[in-house]
């Protein structure tokens, strides 16, 4: 398991629980939930108990690729460090991860709701990308993908390189346009 903290945090938030709520349900102190969500290592049984208390189960999928929630944590980290190029590489990696899998495994990689990245355009781009890649397989999209917080009122780019021209609507995948993210379709093409 590469990122138990992201799994537990996503499960808790998907049910609208605070750390204190989850602590009460698992009969531990809130500090222990905070430490786990902050990245502290925990035993499998502890992670399973926290997930269960949030109404989730842990399943194994035949993949080593990171899911949307884990990639979003990397994007958030890069944005906080002022590195939009690395954040973009993370987004492209998620696209590659989703494209490389098929059926149920692809759906699983987009299932857990990512935490906010700190930038609404990037949050909308994550939702658009998951929508795009799951739709390609005819898979249903999770509810988080269509949340109002995953849409921009005023369309804009991800502002990675100010010298980049703004794409015309025909050059933007419809899933990105729907969410107000002006993102070149070619950026997602595998090289």
Specify if 135 maps to a domain. Answer: yes
Is residue 91's pLDDT more than 50?
yes
Mean of all residue pLDDT scores within the chain: 91
Specify if 100 maps to a domain. Answer: yes
Q: What is the pTM of this model?
A: 0.79
Tens-place pLDDT, residues 136-185? 999 999 999 999 999 999 999 999 998 999 999 999 999 999 999 999 99
Q: What is the 3 state secondary structure string of the chain?
A: CCCHHHHHHHHHHHCCCCHHHHHHHHCCCHHHHHHHHCCCCCCHHHHHHHHHHCCCCCCCCCCCCCCHHHHHHHHHHHHHCCCHHHHHHHHHHHHHHHHHCCCHHHHHHCCCCCCCCCCHHHHHHHHHHHHHHHHHCCCCCCHHHHCHHHCCCCCECCCCCCCCCCCCHHHCCHHHHHCCECCCHHHHCCC
Between residues 52 and 190, the one the model is more confident about:
52
116 and 39 within one domain = no
**What CATH number has the domain bearing residue 12?**
1.10.260.40
């Amino acid at each position: 398991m590469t990122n138990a903290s992201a799994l537990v945090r996503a499960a808790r938030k998907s049910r609208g629980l605070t750390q204190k709520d989850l602590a009460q349900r698992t009969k531990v102190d809130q500090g222990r939930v905070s430490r786990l969500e902050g990245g502290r290592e925990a035993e499998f049984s502890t992670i399973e108990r926290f997930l269960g208390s949030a109404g989730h189960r842990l399943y194994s999928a035949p993949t080593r690729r990171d899911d949307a929630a884990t990639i979003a944590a990397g994007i958030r980290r890069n944005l906080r460090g002022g590195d939009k190029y690395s954040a973009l590489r993370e987004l492209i990696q998620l696209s590659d991860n989703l494209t490389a899998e098929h059926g149920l495994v692809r759906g699983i990689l987009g299932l857990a709701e990512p935490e906010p990245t700190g930038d609404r355009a990037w949050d909308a781009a994550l939702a658009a990308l998951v929508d795009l890649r799951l739709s390609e397989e005819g898979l249903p999209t999770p509810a988080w993908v269509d949340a109002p917080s995953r849409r921009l009122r005023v369309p804009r780019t991800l502002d990675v390189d100010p010298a980049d021209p703004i794409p015309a609507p025909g050059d933007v995948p419809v899933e990105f346009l729907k969410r107000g993210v002006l993102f070149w379709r070619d950026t997602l093409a595998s090289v």
